[in-house]
Amino acid sequence: MISHTVLGTCHHDCPDSCGWEVTVENGRAVKMRGNSNHPYSLGELCPKVNRFLDRVYSPERILSPLIRIGTKGAGEFRTATWDEALALVADRVGTSISQFGSESVLPWGDAGTQGALMRSSLDQRFFARLGASIQVDSLCGDTARIATASAIGSSLTNDPMDVRYAKLILLWGTNTRLTNRHLWPFIEEARANGAKVIVIDPIRTVTADAADQFIQPLQGTDVALMLAMVHVLIRDHLVDVDYVQSHTSGFEELVEHVATWTPERASSICRVDAQVIENLAREYGTTKPTFIRTLIGAEHHENGAQFFRTIVCLPSLTGAWKHRGGGYSRSVGSYAGKFVNESWLEGPTNPSSQLRRGISMNRLGWALTTDDLDPPVKALFVYNGNPVGSVPESALIMRGLQREDLFTVVSEQFMTDTARFADVIFPACTQIEQDDVVPSWGHLYLGFNHKAIEPLGESVPNTELWRRLARAMGFTEPDLFESDESLIANYLIGIDAEMLRQDGFVRLPLPTDHRPYAEGNFATSSGRHEFVNAELERLGHGRLPEYRPVTESAHSTQGMKYPLALMSPKVHQRFLNTSYSHFEAHAKPEGEMYCELTAEDAAVRNISDGDIVKVFNDRGSIEVVARVQAIPRSHRGTVIVPYGWSGSRTRDGNTVNVLTNDRPADWGGGVAFFDTLVEVELAT
């Protein structure tokens, strides 16, 4: 028996990017465990990835090309050869381009893999060569990134691992123990040294239960709470005057702006007691070091950008950036861009590539059904994602995918809710069947993933798919066919590549004590944190951070029709996104999809725990089991329907995104699906 161990890095869209080890015997992976030498994940994998080999060797995997034989959405396919499937795609895409132009082709890809090669390399070159429409915006990340930069010039913030040195930790809008679980030991290390942990979240989560204090604002009202904190910090002289004078601008205007934002005013909006707000602000202003940690949940509101623009005011006002264990952290993924060659995406240049049409990935349903696009979308490529399960207005997406004049190509490992609508499906590799470099947005370690086994069946890495498609289209430019080894070599320009391959990870070459704004040096043109932003004012977003109620609120006309606010958080330990919820072993222990209501909201609707109910609005409806909260986890008027279910495991084939809206966030390219209203009634 030939046995060896291969180092790798988890590819999932998660801040933790854990290191792993795969034991291979006679060419078959027989064991996967965490890499105990990884400084961040420390040898632990999550409940999803602990069963990753079941995924690799699942009998449900797609291991050969498939061509549709049934109606769209029925999931009926026949096996095809690669040559046959490629020829069909080349013919149909070529016809679309000749009849409607190259922009009639639309790529849709997300972060099904965060690997640098498999997520975004040869695909970019391929679609540039086609002259296809460009996918723009993001479901997660861009709103926070761009909004943070509107204040401090960059999205780069503190090393999350430095939370261990804090004395006060605010976990704001993040369920750390579930969605960022490997950071929790560093928080516990800080607690062991006397730190206090405060969770601020509209839902009582497992993280809130483990905190020293839980503060529960009404969803979407966090900015009001922050402005009241700023009011108290200024009123009570808790501002670091030297830091503010040396490293910020617009402070005088900010003082005037928040003069009316008393804790009492904020309390009436966010439903947090005014004294709690007073105490929070004073504790934040008098404790050193203070560390604020948030993730992506808050950006999914119409005022999501204002959340991030406002929250970074706090460490600048108190000078928290100066202290190790102080400051603020959301994503550190952009640090990798300083030490790798991101220009590697440049390949064959289509003459019109700079003028190509942009279509928001968040509005795929609109793009596939509207009459306002010229040319219309006639060919769709989906890879690294499952938009029917993960994008708002999914009923509209499914309606678009049913169009007989739309040719849809999907690269997948399993028959997802989206793949069922495909005309052609190409079999994709899993992470242990390919090489890749994996940047992290939750820590400062770059990961390497060594291929552990040969690809099963006829599956191929994403890069090989684009090579084959380029060849089928008759393209000859060498950059379209660059090998994975060459791509990796060209990518790793400022990294110790030998150590990266040997250990499976390497820390980005940043100072051990990394405090990016300890001495100011913000990335704005002035070098200061700019509380005032004239460009945002010109665009209608406000000269200073401000709170704005959302459109789809309980106070709106629609709120009279649909009085309940919907939250669709990630709550399941065995699956967070749609990648695992179709597996029996992952989904069955979590029960079936449900709707969680407060006891008061359930009572007025004559709903009891365990009843089958319909959750609905003008966009659609879902049929789920009612769970009535014995201990309140949300404010009255809030309904919780967890995200991540596969339609194959729900009562009516629908998931929560049938209900969610695709309205954009205030700016930054995000989507406000947490600002959704619904009603709930007993199912008939």
Q: Give the span between the Cα atoms of 366 and 374, in whole angstroms.
A: 13
Q: How far is CA 677 from the centre of its chain?
A: 22
Residue 593 belongs to a domain with what CATH number? 2.40.40.20
Take residue 310 and report the two structure tokens written for it. 């406002």
pLDDT per residue as tens digits for the range 282-325:
999 999 999 999 998 999 999 999 999 999 999 999 999 999 99
* Domain identity same for 171 and 297: yes
Give the rounded percent of residues in the chain with a pLDDT score beyond 90: 88
In-domain check, residue 619: yes
Residue linked to tokens 């029917």:
388
Provide the mean pLDDT of the chain.
Answer: 94
Residue linked to tokens 């007691």:
273
**683: nearest Cα among 651, 646, 653:** 651
Q: Give the span between the Cα atoms of 469 and 478, in whole angstroms.
A: 14
In-domain check, residue 572: yes
* Domain identity same for 460 and 594: no
Residue 327 has pLDDT above 90, yes or no: yes
pLDDT of residue 351: 44
pLDDT of residue 341: 87
Residue 1 has pLDDT above 80, yes or no: no
Q: Give the span between the Cα atoms of 383 and 405, in whole angstroms.
A: 20
Other C-beta atoms lying within 10 Å of the C-beta of residue 609 = 14
Q: Is 585 helix (H, G, I), strand (E, B) or coil?
A: helix
Q: Give the span between the Cα atoms of 242 and 254, in whole angstroms.
A: 16
- Label residue 464 by pLDDT band (50, 70, 90): very high
In-domain check, residue 665: yes
* Domain identity same for 313 and 250: yes
Burial of 445 (0-12, 13-18, 19+ CB in 10 A): buried
In-domain check, residue 18: no
* Domain identity same for 272 and 161: yes
Take residue 485 and report the two structure tokens written for it. 């080894």
DSSP 349-365: PPTTGGGPPEEEGGGHH
In-domain check, residue 50: no
Residue 215 belongs to a domain with what CATH number? 3.40.228.10
Q: Give the span between the Cα atoms of 191 and 168, in whole angstroms.
A: 9
Residue 668 has pLDDT above 60, yes or no: yes
- Label residue 28 by pLDDT band (50, 70, 90): very high
* Domain identity same for 312 and 393: no
* Domain identity same for 163 and 70: no
* Domain identity same for 155 and 289: yes
Q: Give the span between the Cα atoms of 24 and 432, in whole angstroms.
A: 11
* Domain identity same for 662 and 568: yes
* Domain identity same for 151 and 275: yes
* Domain identity same for 580 and 529: no
Q: How far is CA 289 from the centre of its chain?
A: 28
Q: Give the span between the Cα atoms of 512 and 302, in whole angstroms.
A: 37
List CB contacts of 600: < 8 A, sequence separation 6 or more. Answer: 636
- Label residue 586 by pLDDT band (50, 70, 90): confident
In-domain check, residue 35: no
pTM here?
Answer: 0.95
In-domain check, residue 29: no
Looking at residues 565-584, what average pLDDT do you find? 82
List CB contacts of 603: < 8 A, sequence separation 6 or more. Answer: none
- Bridge partners of 71, per DSSP, are none
Q: Give the span between the Cα atoms of 388 and 132, in whole angstroms.
A: 22
Q: Give the span between the Cα atoms of 76 and 316, in whole angstroms.
A: 57
What range does the domain containing 570 cover?
557-682
Looking at residues 35-61, what average pLDDT do you find? 96
Give the rounded percent of residues in the chain with a pLDDT score beyond 70: 97
pLDDT of residue 559: 60
Q: Give the span between the Cα atoms of 459 and 463, in whole angstroms.
A: 12
How many domains is the chain built from?
3
* Domain identity same for 413 and 278: no
